Amino acid sequence: METVDKWNWVSQVHIHFPRFRDHVDSGFMGVYVLSKDGRQHTYVGRSDASLRQRLVSSASQGDYSYFWFDYASSERNCYLKECELYHRYNPPDNTVHPAVPPGANWRCPVTGCEWGY
Ligand SMILES: [Zn+2]
């Protein structure tokens, strides 16, 4: 099974509108973590379309000041990465488990998860 071996965050950036967008290239899918203080991982998310656009809207919905992000190589890779982040950090601002895209029958890769195998 495809797994995420280690995290190489592209960067941790202090969100400073609108210039933080300069750090994220457009046209890529990927995952991100938002933080209010730069230490606690408060929210995890992903975008299968445009990571940059998703970050802009997601960050504006909360009192977030920092984010980490990483690009993903495919929609499935994106989903697996988000699942791992979700279980690793148990982020308080995430109310539901990462969603599988419509039409896909993927399972969460994390052992013991109710959405797993
Ligand atoms: Zn899971």
**Ligand 1 centroid, distance to 93 Cα (angstroms):** 16
**Ligand 1 centroid, distance to 111 Cα (angstroms):** 8
Task: Give 40-75 pLDDT, tens digit per residue.
Answer: 899 999 999 899 888 888 877 778 888 888 889 999
108, part of any domain: no
**Ligand 1 centroid, distance to 16 Cα (angstroms):** 31
Structural domain harbouring 18 = 4-89
Strand blocks (E) in 38-96: 43-47, 66-71
Q: Residue 45: beta bridge partners?
A: 32
Q: pTM of the full predicted structure?
A: 0.84
114, part of any domain: no
Q: How many domains does the chain have?
A: 1
**Ligand 1 centroid, distance to 98 Cα (angstroms):** 7
Measured CA angle at 67 (ends 63, 73), to 5 deg: 135
**Ligand 1 centroid, distance to 18 Cα (angstroms):** 33
CATH number at residue 46: 3.40.1440
Given strand 30-35, what is the order of strands in its sheet?
Answer: 11-14, 66-71, 30-35, 43-47
